[in-house]
Structure 1
Amino acid sequence: MEMLRADAVWSSQAAPARVCGRGISREQLIRRLGEAAGHNGLGGGLAALTEYVGATHYLLARHDLSQDGGLDFVVCSDWPFDIVRRLSGIVAGLQAKTTELEKCLSVLQPSFHLMPDDVDPPRGISRTYCAVTFNVGRSRFSLMLLFPEDVILSQEELREVAVLAAYTASLKTAVEVRQDREFELTERELECLFWIAEGKTSEEIAVILGISRNTINNYITSVMRKTATRTRSEAIAHAVRNNLV
């Protein structure tokens, strides 16, 4: 899957392409978001945001679930299922290749991606889709949007929609993801993370905490799994960004 810079997508549009006007007014959007919040309806809120920015379909992905494979990373979506299934591995792969610094810099910055050649979008829908990331607490999400072939999405409105999507998701106390998995770090894992940030090795941390080096490495592996990081440096960056140390 190829990622395109926003300006590249804009310049590559054919002459008939139009900058999309809002599907609904701001007043209608706020009213529908209020109704969705009152009924704890994440889908209704995302549908309103999608229509507001001029897109056709939405998919809300939670990044800390993408590393496990499968479709558990999909929080809420009205994308055609065959496209979601095809893109699931690609989304996980993109997440794995992204550094902590890149994750920080990409927040609220729309990016555009081309679907693989073997994916057939619905009739009239562009093969390019948009993704914009945001954080809700310590969890990282992406709102991924399909849009018509003849439409250019407004970056300003996409950033606005991402902020409102974060607000909408934060109101939903029981997001449709697995509830039996605990992503909060344990006290011992936080201790290990603190000492890593202090520049200590596994052997040194083992002496400090009075447990074996293998146990320390297990804790550190668990930290990286829960924080979706690949190295100790990325884990430290994640901890600093989220005020964990």
Structure 2
Amino acid sequence: MIPTKKQQMSSPAAPLQSDTLGSRLTSRGDLTSFFMELTAEIGADSYMLVAIVHDQDRNDARIVSSNWIFDAIELIGKRLIAGLAQGPLTAAPGIRPTPLVAAQAPDAGGLVSGEEARLLDVLGHAEVYSLRLNVGRQRLFALFSAAAAGRIDQPALMKAQLKCCYALSHIPQLIAAAAMQDPLSDRERECLFWVSEGKTTDEVAVILGVSSNTVNSYITHAIQKFAASNRAMAIATAIRSGII
């Protein structure tokens, strides 16, 4: 029986098809939608696409796209995120992935400490899978996590990894631009960093050897460049982008 127009409109969206992935991803918004769909398909709660920018520095991670909450990124920090992305449990395409289960850490090869494991669990990342993505010469990793261990579908996860490799290989310029995007000057970046560390404007002025008015000017420029409404939003954007 041919479905009515109403039935067609109310039917669920078709799953992502590999032959349409390349044409669908044309912006950062498309990239976010793509990963949100994959996250739902595999039964995960969260995702993070991480780029390792410098080959000689394992801790220089840039967050290209993510739906982690700001507090989780800030508390866990780039060092741990880079460690999760490039750790011994990270699976290459075609290899059955092994999760980091927070409740079983730090027994998982010393990848995280007991305190870090408890923090991951509290923040809703009780189970974390790290997948290496083969996308040209770029070093990209996808982290998928769930608030409860055993929720993520491993076979579906392996298929999702191949989808990621295929889709991202069609948009190398977009990924590179997202990973390297840093509109701030050195001074603007320094001011945002120290404010994110809890320093006042006067304290930042002393640290940098400039006036308080100059510090405020740098921070205002940073807020404008990020199209943020206040300092907190600018800091959150800079942290999510791996800029500070």
**TM-score, scaled to structure 1:** 0.49
If the length of structure 2 is used for normalisation, what is the TM-score? 0.49
